[in-house]
A = this chain, B = another copy of it.
Amino acid sequence: MPISDMQRLSPSMFIGVRGKGIISFGSGQPDLPPPKEVLSCAADYDDFKYGLIAGQTDLREGLAHEFRKFNASKDDFVVTNGASEALDLTFRAIGNPKDKILLHAPYYYSYKPLIELNHMTPLFVKTDKGKIDIDDFADKAHEAKAVLINSPSNPTGRIQEIKTLKRIEKITHDLGIPLVSDEVYKDLIYERENYMLSGSHVVTINSFSKTFAMCGARVGYLYSNDRSIVDKAIELKTHASMNTNVLAQRMAYYALKTPKEFVESQVKIWKSRRDIIYEGMCKLGLDVWKPEGAFYILPKVKSPRDFVWNMFKKHKVITYLGEWFGAKDRVRFSYALDAGKIEEGLKKVETYLSGR
């Protein structure tokens, strides 16, 4: 990267970048491999005809079974190119130019561009250490065409309190506006079970990427009991990308069959890494909020752009600029690395901060 790139740092410069000696706290993806059943099903797969736009029937039936508590049917799902496409299709299905979408900052870096790309405007609710101010939410929801919630959050790692989530469900229900809930980290919570937002007005966004370590396969989905949203998303997808890769859907189907222990053992690993990075940053005297889920932490640093640039150029450590996430005085670390690498990275942060 030439030096002039410092001013135009962007996530796409780092996504997929790997190299010897690089320690990446950048892109948010598990370093662990996918379950072996997921890998082995590719070997004899040979049917590369178009699939159903909504997604393969067996996969959607499997998802309906996962969501049986909510009386889900296979027709409530659209399988997508990752959660990203699920979100894009949802915004395209529910909004029109100039509509406002209410969300909480700091936010996943694609939210704002996706909203703006669809010619809509983001509206931000007040937060304290990543937690939503529900009174401010209640005020602003009146102006919104739809609401977007992300708990556990990328980039804060924070979860919203269950009483907050219940109030959000009710407020949006009473207003009759869609509640879009990005729950891609639902399986990676260290403090309690996930509370899944639900109701006839909810669109749940989810993914196989994080839980099953298959980010590059790009399989996500949206789930909604509102048939008009599901039908519209299918119609849009017919034109904008057609079916999601059929082999990736097969892999996702096998992922659903993975024993629960796979996920449980992963959560233990993530929790121990969370402890290492959180305690390490506290020791360095950094201002951080304790992550409760996902695998991100968002410390405050002086001159974040210099920090990201120099950590990469001088120390080969990739971190992401907080500005991309609506947190301009912070930087994001993904701790999807083994414990040794996390500690090595923390030492380099210490070196940088001490000005050596």
Q: Give me the interface of A with B, judged by CB distance under 8 Å.
A: 10-12, 15-18, 27, 29, 33-34, 39, 42-53, 81-82, 84-85, 88, 92, 97, 109-110, 113-114, 117, 119, 213-218, 234-236, 238-248
Contact = CB atoms under 8 A, between A and B. Distances in A.
A32 to B, nearest CB: 11
Nearest to A109: B239
B215 A48 contact: yes
A107 to B, nearest CB: 12
B34 A216 contact: no
Contacts of A51: 16, 216
B81 A114 contact: no
B235 A12 contact: yes
Contact of A42 (B18, B216, B218, B247): B247
Given A48-B214, A48-B215, A48-B216, A114 B240 contact: yes
A27 B242 CA distance: 12
24 contacts: A12-B234, A15-B50, A15-B238, A16-B50, A16-B51, A16-B243, A18-B49, A39-B46, A43-B44, A50-B215, A51-B216, A81-B241, A81-B242, A82-B241, A84-B239, A88-B239, A88-B241, A110-B239, A113-B236, A215-B242, A218-B244, A245-B245, A247-B247, A247-B248
A246 B234 contact: no
A314 to B, nearest CB: 24
A248 B18 CA distance: 20
Given A10-B235, A12-B238, A97-B119, A48 B27 contact: no
Contacts of A34: 48
A52 B16 CA distance: 5
A334 to B, nearest CB: 11
Contacts of A88: 239-241
Contacts of A17: 52
Contacts of A234: 12
Q: Which 4 A-B pairs have the closest CB atoms?
A: A216-B246, A110-B239, A16-B52, A245-B245
Contacts of A110: 238-239
A109 to B, nearest CB: 8
Given A16-B243, A239-B88, A245-B245, A217 B48 contact: yes
A258 to B, nearest CB: 14
A238 to B, nearest CB: 5
A47 B48 CA distance: 20
Contacts of A216: 47-51, 243, 245-247
Contacts of A49: 16, 18, 29, 215-216
Nearest to A108: B239
A22 B29 CA distance: 43
Contacts of A82: 241-242
A27 B51 CA distance: 11
